[in-house]
Chain A
Amino acid sequence: MIVAQRKPFAEIAEAAAGYRRVLVAGCGTCVAVCLTGGEKEAGILAAQLDIAAQLGEREQAFGVACVERQCDREFLDELAAQVAEHDAVLSLACGAGIQFLAERYPDTPVLAGVNTTFIGINNDVGVWGERCRSCRDCLLSVTGGVCPIALCPKGMLNGPCGGAEDGKCETDRERDCAWTLIYQRLENTGRLANLEPIITARNHQASLPGRQVHPAYERRYSAHE
């Protein structure tokens, strides 16, 4: 899932300070699961903002809404009536959802309430870890299901750097060295031969904005290109 973290309260309050009626819009998918931007968190943030506004004697009101996913147009449409009744929308979705909300309601200022952190997994209650950088050229079959791009700070592709010690990373002795994990996983599954060929330089065309069309829809969209 996409993991996000609520922005510092002072930053949010400052961004919202200029608007009288602010709609705090949660997203019911990834950011709800990581307890950052779902319906409940939208309610909590609105209450917090309301308290701060009252204490600061600012005449502001905060509405609350939550849609299933802010990255789908159908769900964003459900917000139309509420958006119309507010001066700004404070979105708690990931960066993609915030942008799509702003695109769908171009006349309303859209503010970001979270920092999108990574694509990750749920390690335990309240703890998430990054696993994927969406590099568009997955190496996981070769690297034993451990990603050297997401988990090695240097993104080394051909083995550990010289900073690895006791299986830990030079950037933090608590952090596992990704290449040690890769090596051990492949050794345990009898696949060390995977590592013999030198992995060549990556194609970084992934820095261009991505777009993809499902093969079944190619004909429909090729007409518009």
Chain B
Amino acid sequence: MSKFKEALAAKDFLLTVELDPPRGPELGPLTELAGQLAGRVDAVVVSDNRGARARLSPLLAGQALVKHSGAEVIMTLTCRDRNRLALISDLLAAAAAGVENLLLVSGDFVSLGDQPGTKPVYDLDSVQLLQLAAQMAQGRDPAGELAGPTPFFLGASLAPEARPLGPQVMKLKKKLAAGAGFLITKPLRGLAGLKEFAAAAGELPVKLIAGVEVAAGAEPAEVLSLAREVKAAGLAAGVHLAWPEQPQRLPDLVGQL
């Protein structure tokens, strides 16, 4: 069983961090960084072409971290870059690679990335991808029986600061119905939006981890204080830290929380 799932059930407050695979073929630095974080965070989220910018596959990065870093891995998989054949194929590969946790998202649109003219796929949306992964956890795909189940712990993303709230709450309910076992929010700007969202959504059957990000050029102090506020307010079961520009400083940041 996934260590992350156990931690989520057992601990009061969790800490996860986000790491991008390299824009090159060398996995050593990523594995080393994840190794430094391994005992200090509950999971490392490996991103999937974050911001629609191409990087090394999260499957291979996920596998390397599972095997060599000692960190618990949550692998992101987007609907943007794969049709359902590729999604099934990659979900099977993730299971074979020893990845036990997935964050299933629709993915930033291609026009925001570095290949704006590429074909956006979105054969499934994030709700349908959760359904597919949940079905595969039962040992089946839409075409029939698989040779074995892929027992993933499934997560979904959430945009609590997006307005109007109604459509976001509706979408969350569908994600939960489709099999989401945990939630990670998009990077928050403050607490107010999350509070409003929590009030509108009511009590959630699964735990929610609040995303915070040190944006480009920003100093980490504000992010640390927001993370502490989230913890103090009891609005989330944990914090998910990202520092896309300077991931090598994440271990230091984690130490200050």
Name A residues whose Cβ lies closer than 8 Å to a Cβ of B.
Answer: 153-167, 170-171, 177, 179-180, 182-184, 187, 192, 195, 198-202, 204
Contact = CB atoms under 8 A, between A and B. Distances in A.
Contact of B174 (A159, A170, A202, A204): A159
Interface of B: 79-80, 84, 105-109, 111-112, 120, 122-128, 131-132, 142, 157-159, 161-164, 166-168, 170-171, 174, 177-178, 186
Nearest to A155: B122
20 contacts: A154-B80, A154-B109, A156-B126, A158-B174, A159-B174, A160-B159, A160-B167, A161-B159, A162-B186, A163-B162, A164-B167, A165-B162, A165-B163, A166-B163, A171-B109, A171-B112, A179-B171, A198-B127, A198-B128, A198-B174
Nearest to B122: A154
Contacts of B109: 153-154, 163, 170-171
Contacts of B164: 167, 180, 183-184
B71 to A, nearest CB: 25
B131 A154 contact: no
A174 B128 CA distance: 28
A198 B172 CA distance: 11
B122 A164 contact: no
A165 B187 CA distance: 13
B171 A163 contact: no
B122 A160 contact: no
A183 B174 CA distance: 14
Contact of A163 (B108, B120, B166): B108
Nearest to A169: B109
Nearest to B166: A183
A130 B168 CA distance: 25
Given A154-B107, A159-B127, 20 more contacts: A153-B109, A154-B106, A155-B125, A158-B125, A158-B127, A159-B171, A160-B168, A160-B171, A161-B106, A161-B126, A162-B105, A162-B106, A163-B159, A165-B163, A171-B111, A195-B170, A198-B178, A199-B128, A201-B128, A201-B142
Contacts of B108: 163, 170
Given A154-B106, A154-B109, A198-B178, A159 B168 contact: yes
Contacts of B123: 201-202, 204
Nearest to B131: A198
B166 A187 contact: yes
A174 B220 CA distance: 31
A166 B231 CA distance: 27
A201 B171 contact: no
Contacts of A161: 106, 125-126, 159
Nearest to A178: B167
Contacts of A157: 125, 127-128
